[in-house]
């Protein structure tokens, strides 16, 4: 039952998480806590300290695969609001990330265009270090406001403290379940400097004969993503399921001799990034299914719920893909999605 202690804070038992995961898996948690203000986040922190149940913190559920009911507490932010201070935006952790990108573009704040249409919430953007088309959100983040669960104290964490890397941060490791993020501050550019040399952005712009403004670049990014990624409201998915592996230059050069058309992106003098989707496609998985789970027919990096798939079916599919990629290329690929 839902408490009426507060007009906004939600406290529910035996709560369905169907609306909180884009894979469309209907799993329940024993208790669901949702905070809508920093004061409520402090209340939730106290509840977590007093409870003997395990807990997890989720965002929009676009990076989550539920394989079972969760016998613990699920915590979610519903803090909304976008406040502008010159070229900075201070955003509530429960805001939808793409709404922030849209706001920035509409107000001539530049730098986030390539991150258009990435699903999820603001809080999760800071945890996952979301990225697309050669841009990562760490390039925009300046500060994260969060409540420390152990003490209830409010902390202001600077970007440099987060140890950001490719789809990584301290929030995913030593800080996991340590903080309730309440606000993220992003610093944008005053001059539009488009990033066009990743994926097929430039080719698509040339096809349309466009020299892009920030709004036009956002439209192109959205059209590219919509063309290859299924709408989770129609077909359950979590976007890109696997991280693109980063390999040594020696390993890359060995594979390049065997696969002349292998795409790659230089990370530094000693490392190359190879698209996991390309390797999965080479293994013949694009469009295939295993039970009610499958691989999207337009983008092999995306696993989909064909209808009624359980989390276990999706796990069986991704493990089969992992094995085939390892056998063919000698490379381990790992889920970008959190498997619970």
Distances (CA, A) of 195 to 18, 113, 198, 199, 274: 36, 9, 8, 11, 20
Integer Cα distance of 66 and 294 in angstroms: 16
The one catalytic residue among 30, 167, 202, 225 = 167
d(CA 328, CA 41): 48
Residue 279 CA, distance from chain mean position = 21
Give the integer Cα–Cα distance in Å for 5 and 295.
45
> Helix 214-228 to helix 97-106 angle, to the nearest 10 degrees?
150
Q: What is the CA radius of gyration of the chain?
A: 20
Q: What span, in angstroms and rounded, lies between the C-alpha atoms of 108 and 5?
A: 41
Residue pair 79/59 in contact (Cβ under 8 Å)? The answer is no
Q: Which position among 40, 95, 240, 313 bears the catalytic label?
A: 240
Tokens of 279: 């390797």
Closest CA to 120 of 134, 132, 105, 104: 132
Active-site residue, 167 included: yes
Which residues does the annotation mark as catalytic?
Answer: 167, 240, 336
């Amino acid at each position: 039952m839902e408490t009426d202690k507060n007009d906004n804070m939600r406290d529910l038992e035996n709560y369905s998480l169907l609306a909180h995961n884009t894979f469309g898996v209907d799993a329940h948690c024993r208790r669901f806590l949702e905070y809508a203000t920093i004061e409520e986040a402090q209340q939730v922190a106290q509840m977590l300290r007093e409870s003997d149940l395990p807990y997890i913190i989720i965002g929009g559920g676009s990076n989550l695969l539920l394989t079972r009911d969760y016998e613990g507490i699920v915590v979610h932010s519903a803090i909304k609001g976008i406040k502008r201070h010159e070229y900075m935006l201070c955003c509530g952790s429960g805001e939808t990330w793409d709404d922030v990108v849209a706001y920035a573009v509409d107000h001539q704040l530049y730098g986030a265009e390539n991150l258009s249409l990435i699903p999820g919430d603001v809080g999760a953007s800071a945890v996952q270090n979301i990225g697309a088309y050669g841009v990562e959100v760490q390039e925009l983040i300046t500060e994260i406001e969060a409540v420390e669960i152990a003490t209830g104290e409010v902390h202001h964490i600077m970007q440099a403290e987060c140890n950001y890397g490719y789809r990584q941060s301290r929030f995913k490791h030593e800080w996991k379940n340590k903080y309730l993020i309440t606000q993220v501050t992003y610093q944008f550019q005053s001059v539009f400097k488009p990033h066009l040399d990743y994926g097929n952005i430039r080719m698509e712009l040339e096809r349309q004969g466009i020299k892009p403004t920030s709004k036009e670049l956002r439209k192109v990014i959205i059209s590219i993503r919509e063309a290859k990624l299924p709408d989770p409201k129609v077909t359950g998915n979590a976007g890109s399921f696997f991280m693109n592996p980063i390999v040594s230059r020696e390993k890359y050069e060995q594979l390049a001799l065997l696969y002349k058309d292998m795409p790659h992106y230089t990370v530094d003098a000693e490392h190359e990034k190879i698209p996991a989707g390309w390797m999965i496609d080479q293994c013949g998985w694009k469009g295939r299914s295993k039970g009610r789970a499958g691989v999207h027919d337009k983008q092999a990096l995306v696993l989909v719920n064909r209808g009624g798939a359980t989390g276990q079916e999706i796990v069986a599919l991704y493990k089969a893909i992992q094995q085939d990629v390892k056998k063919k290329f000698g490379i381990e690929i790992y889920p970008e999605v959190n498997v619970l």
